[in-house]
Structures are given as C-alpha cells and as structure tokens.
Structure 1
Amino acid sequence: MPRALVLYSGSLASTVAVKLLATGRNWKVDLLYLRTPFLNAVELVKARAQRLFPGFGFNSCGLKREYNVYWHRVVEQGVPFPCGACRSLLLFKAARIMRRKRYDLLVTGEIVGRGGLGAKDLVRLEKMVGLQGRVFRPLSAALLPPVRGDDDLWSVPKLALCGDAEEELRDLARELGIPPLEWDKLDSCPLEDEGFAARVFTLLQRGPVNLNTVWLMQFPHTFAAEEFVMVVARSPQECRELQSFFLPDDVRLYIQVPHSPLGLVRFREELSSAEIQGMLELCARIIAALGGYAPREEVKVAYRLELSNELDYLYVRPLEQEYLERLRLPRLNSEVRLVYLD
C-alpha cells in the first residue's frame, strides 16, 4: 500500500486536499502539522484532524532552526517572499521526514497563484528540496506537471483551481461533506501584514536575521541602515515589552526624564568600536526626535551596552524629519506591495 504524507494546516484548502486524496484508492495517509514561529495552532489543528479524519495518523513538528539558518539563503535565491520562502522551509522539513520514514508522496493544499506562487514557482520549490515529481497538489494538479507514480492517483480528482478560489473551495467542501463549522481559519500569519513582511524582507536582503530581530519588527517605530537596526518604544507598555528583547551586545538608549522613549540598537557584528560609536550619534538623534524635542534643542541622551552597567552620554540635536523617514522601515498595517521575485 503506497504511503502519503500530507502537510496539513487545518485550512479549508488542506482539508479539501485530504478529502480528495481519500476518494482515491487505498492509501496509508499520515497528516503532518509543521509549527513555525508564525503559526502554531497545533491543538486546534489536531482536534480538527481527529474530527474529520479519525482513521489517519497525525503528527506535529517544529521549525525554528530552519528559520534562523536557512531563511536568508532562500531569500538570496530569489524565492517569492513571504509565502514562497516559508513554503520552501516547510517542504525542506517535510522532505527530511519523507526520506527518514520512507513515504512515497507528499500531498499539500497549495493552489497555483496563491501567495505570489505560480506553477513554475511551485515546481521550483520542490526541486530545491529534492522532491521533484513527488509533491501532489490535487487542487491545482491539472495545471502542474504529473507526479511520479501517477498511476496510483488515477482515481483522485485533479483540479485546476487558481488564485484565491475561495468560492470554489467552499463548493467543493459542500460536495465532500465537510461541515461549514470546519471551514474557518484556525490561525493567522503575522506576515499577512504587508508592512511587517516588508520590514522582514528588507532585513533578510541584507543578511541573516535571527527570530528575536524578526519579532522586533512588530514594534511600530523601527529604523534601519546598513550598519544597524533600531527599535524605539514610546508608550509605557511598549517600553515594558521591549525589555525582554535586549541581547547582551545591544545598546540601550534613553533620555533621563519621565516617560522617555526607549531605544534598542542592534549593530552588525563585524563593525568596529569606532564605527559603532559613529553610528550611536545618529541613533541618539533618532531618540531625541521621537522624544518630541525642538529641532535645534540640544538633548542629553544616555546609552550603555546591555551587558555593561557603565553609562555614557551624547549631546545631540533631534534628527531632521526627512532623514528620519528615510531610515524608517515600512509602517505596519500599511498598503506596501511586496515585489514577488521571479
């Protein structure tokens, strides 16, 4: 009996894909939910899987190292961001599991045209992880090259869905007997905020980025140059939340007055002490500008390395608004349109 591993997120698309696979000849099917830093609804997904597919196995596995180590490399290769870059890491993990447990086929609910991924992109992703011809996407199979061992799938419908296809998916769900209560999304990805995604993409284009830095991009006021990333917390709540993000080599900046903005600056590792000192004046001017000081007013800004108790000071004038906006990363919840790379 052939064995299929299904990447199951609990979404309507992946649920319909499993139902379509189940209409074919006997397959040994296992569902796999991959937890990522952005999506981790494992208990909800498991409960849905048990309700809809009680005869199928269910496992979950986490991806964290893959994001810290490989995400930057994937972006360098021109994979569409964000959906293509994340999808490539999911396939990378699934490929390792398939080889280890000897599955014949990987099944996904991917649809041609979603997330900026065309047919060529989907084929390219499976090639990148060594799964060429072994990924079956029943929802768009008619638009894609045939998979290896297609004879075993002769009785599984091969559809031609493209793009959003929400209405078509709901019609299919009704035909396949999937209750409407099981149609809702179980989780939402923060990268759906195009401003947040654009911030992360900007940083990944410059080099490797750890997940701590990625989550810093959810603060409203973020700035970046080639030499550093800077986050400024302005409200008391933001200041409290920012405290947990400081790493030993980060620099803390603030003005010694009540309700001062708090700045976290993370410099590139290869910078010399002299280069860092030169950039600190620019960062201090950003803090002064966000502190609401007059353009020509001299402001005393305190700073220290996070692992040190030694406090030092810079006397600066607030950064000009035009320069401030050039350093500012795209705003959250914005209408920034990502350029999906071919």
Structure 2
Amino acid sequence: MPKQGKAIAMISGGLDSTLALALVRRQGVEVKAVTFYTGFCITETQRRKGGRADGAVPRNEALRAAADLEVDIEYVDISGSEYLDMLVHPKYGYGANANPCVDCRVFMMRKAKEIMEAEGADFIFTGEVLGQRPKSQRRDTLRIIERDSGLDGRLLRPLSAKLLQPTIAEQEGIVDRERLEAISGRSRQRQMELARELGVVDWPQPAGGCCYLTDESFAKKFFDVLDAREAAGEERRILPEDVVLLSTGRHFRLSPRAKLVVGRTEVENALLEHHVEGRARLEAQDVLGPVAIVEGEPTWEERVLASRIVARYGKGKDAPRVTVEWREGDLVERYEVEPEQDEARVEALRI
C-alpha cells in the first residue's frame, strides 16, 4: 500500500499535464495544483482582452482541468520584473525565437518549490515528456531544470518516469513507479490511449504551445524593443507595459528613433488609449479608423509617414486624402495626407 503523501502539480490544462494529474491522483496522493501566469500566454491574453477576433472567449484550461479532477488550484502571477529580467538575460539562451524555455522552467520550478515547502508537500510533478520538445525536454535539460531549481529528487515526471532516475517519492513508496509511464518523443498515441483508460475526455484541441515567445512574429517585436533601447543608449530590458503592447496591434519601425503601433480592433484601440502617456496618439478625422500610437522621437517626415499608414486602415483607405490628428501632450497637429498605397513599403516597415 503506497505511503500517504502530498504533491504540488504544475499544470497548464493541456493533455499531458492533465494525464499526469490523473496518474498521481489515482494513487491516493493528496494534490494541490498550481498554474503560472507569465504575461505571455496567448489564450490568457485573449481572455483578458475579451476574447478572440471571432468573439469566442477561450477557457482557462488549467482551472478547467483542476475542476474536472476535483483538485484545488492556485493561480500564481509571475509576470513581474524578476521574470522579465530573466527573459532578457537567460542563462541557457533562447529557442528558435524569443523563448528561453529552460530558464523559464527553472524559474517556475523555483516558485513551485516555495509553494511545496509552504504546503509541507513531498514533491512536485509536471506533464513533461522526455524528448517531446527539442530544447526543454531533452534528458540533459530535464536534469538541468531539476538541479538549478533546487528540486533534486523531488521532481517527478509521471508520463516518462520509467525512463528517468527514480525520485524520492518513488523510493519512499509515496507513488508506485510501476503505475507510472514510459512515454517519450512527439507521438501522442500513448497519451490518447491513456486518456481513454483514465476517463480524461476534455482537453484543448488542437494541442500546441500557448506562449507568444515561441511565435516568430512576436519574437521580432520582442527583440526590436531591446535593440531600440540599446541603440538609444538605454538598458536592454522589457517593461510590464511592453508585454501588453507587444501583443496589441500592427507594429511598424519607422526608424531607429520611432515606432508606430496601429490598433486592429475596438478592444485594441481601447488598450492603446491606456498607453498614450509619453507617446503620440494618432487617429483619422471624419472617417472610421484605428487608434494608433507613436513612441520615440520621430522626424517631421516620419510623422507624415505614420499618418499615411494610419490613414490606409479603416474607412479612409480609398479616400484621396485623409486628415489625421496627431496629439502629443498639449500639442495637437493635423496632417492632411494620402493613405499609403505602397504595399512593399508598408511591409518593409512592419515588425
């Protein structure tokens, strides 16, 4: 009979973490789940903005999974300056885009360790699968994450446990190693079989990442912010308001000195309105169109160019000329411009 124990489950609500939760729960282990908000989760950002472009509001899958399996869950916001500093200076570098996956996992595991100790729990477990992701789920990086987070022997991966060294929880009989799995690689076949065996019927479809940092277009905007600050002689850093703006609107680099962000929806227009301070606000007059902001120190030519780009979106795009209002503090100027029609020029400026 397994020894009674308590565990902290790190869950996203995806199939793997849901299966890991079900595997440990069925062994009679008391479980408390945690889910982390980094500021870069795509679906959670969409939720906070009121839904997707089609109007659908995505679920918080971690909260849903915990409810389905009747487990208490703690929602932990780690999106502050400590996390943002790690993103800019990752010890183990980035993946294909702006994703420092190993450093991010270490960061989360350290926070989970604090919760484990506060709760008097015996171990932490995740839905990680050996070899499923090329950077953060190799055998060597799984070991690095365990070591650097201070969780030696206290970090269980139930889906791949039989392929990894036994943890303290297995050695002490808190969990039965024989009732864990030996899954590896990117195939989902065993997970689908296991879902049927465990009665898990609800998970996000299609499966996939939920992090803006893994997205190529987002990564370009992310590094553009860092490069622009460095070029201006400032510290390379990402601020909390940058996180909001990076996932909002169309971004155009007018020059090393100035950037334009143009809203795409009413929600994005409203978000940009909240970030006008210290920036210029642009909007076409007498025609329905987007709100836009310009940050930096644009030249007069760049002001006109920004106005032409703003005029090309919305109801004024086919007009011969559009008046665009430029507000910057107490300064109000109006530019009568032709909407920019040069697609190649616009695309060359788009970040």
8 Å CA contact retained: 1:199, 1:217: no
Change (3 A) 1:327 1:151: same
Question: Structure 1 residue 231 and structure 2 residue 233: aligned?
Answer: no
Residues 258 and 298 of structure 2 are in contact (CA less than 8 Å); yes or no, is this contact kept in structure 1? no
Q: Write the letter of the residue equivalent to 1:170.
A: M
Q: Which position in structure 1 is the counterpart of 2:215?
A: 194
| 1:61 paired to 2:75 | yes
Distance 1:195 1:259, change over 3 A: farther
Residue 44 (structure 1) shift = 6.3
1:326 maps to 348
CA apart distance, 1:204: 6.5
Match of 2:22 in 1: 19
CA change 1:226–1:141 in 2 (3 A) is farther
Unaligned runs of 5+ in 1: 268-275, 330-342
**Aligned ranges 1:46-85 → 2 under 5 Å:** 46=63, 48-52=65-69, 54=70, 57-66=71-80, 68-77=81-90, 78-80=93-95, 81-82=98-99, 84=101
3-state SS, counterpart of residue 9 of structure 2: strand
Instruction: Give the match for residue 29 of structure 1.
Output: 31
Measured at CA, do residues 245 and 142 of structure 1 come closer, stay the same or move farther in structure 2, by a change above 3 Å? Answer: farther
| Whole-Å separation in 2 of the counterparts to 1:300 and 1:127 | 60
1:32 positional shift: 2.2
Change (3 A) 1:299 1:44: closer
Q: Using the alignment, how far apart are the partners of 1:36 and 1:311 within structure 2?
A: 37
2:5 and 2:30 in contact (8 A); partners too: yes
The structure-2 alpha-carbon separation of the partners of 1:281 and 1:34, relative to structure 1 and needing over 3 Å to count, comes to same
Alignment match, 1:273:
none
Indicate conservation of the 8 Å contact 1:106/1:135, yes or no.
yes
8 Å CA contact 2:20–2:127 kept in 1: the answer is yes
CA contact (8 A) 1:35 1:42 kept: no
Q: In the alignment, what sits opposite 2:122? A: 104
Which amino acid in the other structure matches residue 76 of structure 1? H
Amino acid at match of 2:36: L
Identify unmatched segments of 5+ residues in structure 2. Answer: 45-57, 228-235
Match of 1:162 among 184, 196, 200: 184
In structure 2, give the amino acid aligned to 1:311: V
CA distance in 1 between counterparts of 2:350 and 2:205 reads 33
Find the counterpart in structure 1 of residue 8 from structure 2: 5
Task: State the 1:178 CA deviation.
Answer: 1.5
1:220-266, CA deviations, whole angstroms, 9 ceiling, x for partnerless residues? 5212465444212367x477445444241122134545345542123
SS of 1:230's equivalent? strand
Native 8 Å contact 2:226 2:238 kept in 1 = no
How many equivalent pairs are there? 308
Please point out which of 157, 165, 181 is paired with 1:137. 157
Cα contact 1:75–1:204 (8 A) shared by 2: no
Residue 340 of structure 1 corresponds to none
Higher relative contact order (CA 8 A, sep 6+): 1
Aligned Cα root-mean-square deviation (Å) = 4.0
Deviates more, 1:310-319 or 1:69-78: 310-319
1:134-175 CA distance string (max 9 Å, x none): 321121234445434541356234533234332210101222
Q: Residue 31 of structure 1 aligns to which amino acid in structure 2?
A: A
The AA in structure 1 aligned to 2:188 is E
Identity rate of aligned residues, in percent? Answer: 23
The DSSP-based 3-state class of the residue aligned with 1:311 is strand
Provide closer, same or farther for how the CA distance between residues 89 and 229 of structure 1 changes in structure 2, counting only shifts above 3 A. farther
Counterparts of 1:303 and 1:35, CA distance in 2? 36
Q: 1:285 to 1:218 in 2, by over 3 A?
A: same
